Amino acid sequence: MTNKEAIILAGGFGTRLQGVVKDVPKPMAPVNGRPFLTYVLDYLMDYHYTKVVLSVGYLHEKVEEYFGNAYQSLEISYAVETEPLGTGGGIAYALSFCTNDNVLVLNGDTLFKADLSALEQFHTDSQGTLSIVLRHVADTSRYGSVSTDGNGRILQFTEKNNAVGEGDINGGIYLINKKLLQNIYLPQKFSFEKDLMEKYVCEMPFYAMRSDGYFIDIGIPEDYARAQREF
């Protein structure tokens, strides 16, 4: 893949972080003197990504003021939501800013250092329209769990309310073929996880690759504090 493109979901309110981070979107929360989002962009540059679309809404001006139209070698554009579209609606809108058939999608408040070259090869080999990266954790109850067959095809998503114990979770990294959203009717506002992945998992070929790469989600104060220590 040349001229590799990625979408970063960077519009979160950061409700659970309000006590420690105010006046910026969650991905802009400072970690050791710079926004958390810069660490995610550094990770993409390690895999030679050239263009990033930031899916933004809440306080998007703060993101645009900081980054402008480039970050080091990365070209940056903005898909600004005038009203919250949900994760799915945000991804669908941001895809309209992309030219490639296959686009990487990840969260701006999570750093999961999966091998993206391996993911690209896995996506090509499986010939599905969606490939996701799974992370094995000791407690799936915060995230929900994902089960697959021997070939990596996803069989089931278990919601976090029903997930217990150790298992594989959705790591929030997706490689999406644009055909995925062209083949089914979806409203302008929808949840990528619930209205697409969970709803169509039995009908469409969704695949998952496991990774044990470094993983941190700064969505709760304890993990935000851990990021300050570990970065």
Whether 182 maps to a domain, the answer reads: yes
Alpha-carbon Rg for the chain, nearest whole angstrom, is 17
Whether 114 maps to a domain, the answer reads: yes
User: For the residues 48-65, what does the mean pLDDT come to?
Assistant: 93
Whether 26 maps to a domain, the answer reads: yes
**The residue type at 219:** G
pLDDT in tens, 161-187: 787 889 999 999 999 999 999 888 899
pLDDT of residue 160: 81
pLDDT of residue 175: 98
d(CA 116, CA 173): 9
Backbone angles phi, psi at 189, to 5 degrees: -105, 120
Whether 48 maps to a domain, the answer reads: yes
d(CA 153, CA 71): 36
Q: Tell me, what CATH number does 13's domain have? A: 3.90.550.10
- Residue count of the chain, please give it: 231
pLDDT of residue 12: 65
User: For the residues 68-80, what does the mean pLDDT come to?
Assistant: 97
Whether 221 maps to a domain, the answer reads: yes
User: For the residues 110-118, what does the mean pLDDT come to?
Assistant: 97
Total domains in the chain come to: 1
First-to-final CA distance of the chain: 30
Helix (H) or strand (E) holding 39: helix 36-46
Q: Give the domain extent around 190.
A: 4-132+173-202+214-230
Whether 79 maps to a domain, the answer reads: yes
Whether 158 maps to a domain, the answer reads: no
Whether 168 maps to a domain, the answer reads: no
pLDDT in tens, 100-113: 999 999 999 999 99
pLDDT in tens, 132-169: 999 998 888 888 899 999 999 999 998 887 878 899 99
Does pTM surpass 0.85?
A: yes
pLDDT of residue 70: 97
pLDDT over 90 percentage in the chain: 72
